[in-house]
Amino acid sequence: MAENRIGILSDTHGLLREEVLEALKGCGAILHAGDVGGPEILEQLSAIAPVYAVRGNTDRDWEKPLPETLSITLFGVRFFLIHNRKKAGELPECDIVLSGHTHKYEERREGSRLFLNPGSCGPKRFLLPVTMAVLKVSENGWQAERLDLSAGTSGGTLSVSGAEKAGFGAEASGTYAGAFGVGAIGRETGALGANAPGTESGPGEKTAKGLKADSPEAYMAQLPEKDLKKLVSDIMRSVDRGRPVKELAEKYRIGEELAELICRLYVTHPGIDAEGIINKMGIYNR
C-alpha cells in the first residue's frame, strides 16, 4: 500500500495561506475541525481533495450548516471530528479524535487512541504559533506530522465571517488584517499601553523573553496576572454595554488595536471568560 496523506487543519477563520495550500498538495483528503470562516474556504480546499468538516462556534448563519460532529474512516483510519473537545461527551469507537477551538497544537495518546488538535492555521493570535498537521498512512500504520507555518499571509485569501464582524461596525472597518497580527499592530494608533495606570514603563522600554518591544504581547506580559484579568474583564463588561472599540481604548488608556483584539476574541467565542481570552493570547504560555 502506497503512503496516503490526509491534511488536518482547524480555525482558519476565513484565511487560507499559500503555505497551507502548498502543504495540502498530494493529500487524498482534508479534515477541518471547525471555525472555517465561510463556505468559500471549503470550496477552495475541495479543489485540492475531498473535504470533511465540522461546525465551529463562529460558523453561523450558513445556508447549509456543517455538522457538529462527524465520524469517518479514511484509508483504514477511524476519525471522530468535533470543534470543541470539551463538548464531546462519550466518544465513539475511533483511532483519532480530531478537535480545534483552542488554537494550540496538541497530540495526546490514551491507549491506542490519539487526541489531535492541529492548532490554528488562520489569522495569527498573539504568541500562539500558526500550525496544521498531515497524517501519513501506510501499510506500517499512521503517524501525524506537525507543520509550523510563518505568521504572514503570503498572498492568502482573507475573509471575515458575519460572526466575526458582529459588534464592531465602522470602528473595525479596514483593520481585520492588522487586528489579527497580519500587519503591524498598534503602530498606527500609537502607544499600546505605555500610559496605562499602574505601569512604570511602556513596552518600548523593555521586553519580555524576546518579545518585540512595541508589540501588544510585550505590554500585556508586563502586567501582573490579576491586573491583566481585571483589564480584560472590564473591557468585556464594556462590550456588553455596547461601547465601541475607540471609546474602550481611550477609557482604559491602551492602543486601539489592542482593544480591538480583546473585543474580537470576546465576540467570536461565546461563553469565554477573561482567563480564556488571556490563554488564547498565549501571554502566559511561553
- pTM for the model stands at 0.62
Closest CA to 36 of 61, 56, 50, 6: 56
**β-bridge mates for residue 137, sequence order:** 4, 142
- Looking at 3.40.50.2300, 3.40.50.1360, 3.40.50.720, 3.60.21.10, the CATH number of the domain 4-149 comes to 3.60.21.10
| Confidence (pLDDT) at 177 | 25
Q: What pLDDT does 280 receive?
A: 78
- What sign for the dihedral angle of Cα 251, 256, 261, 264? positive
253: left (phi over 0), alpha (psi -120 to 50) or beta: left
pLDDT confidence of residue 203: 37
Q: What pLDDT is stored for residue 151 in this prediction?
A: 59
* pLDDT tens sequence across 132-161: 999 999 999 999 999 999 755 444 444 333
Q: For residue 252, what are the CA distances in angstroms to 90, 168, 203, 247, 284?
A: 44, 18, 16, 9, 21
Domain ranges of the chain: 4-149, 166-281
| Top-confidence residue, 5 or 129 | 5
Interval 165-202: pLDDT, tens: 333 332 332 222 222 222 222 322 233 333 333 333 33
What's the chain's average pLDDT? 77
User: How much is the pLDDT for 271?
Assistant: 81
Cell of 35: 471555525
Each residue's pLDDT tens digit, 101-114: 989 999 999 999 99
What pLDDT was estimated at residue 257? 78
Helix (H, G, I), strand (E, B) or coil at 162: helix
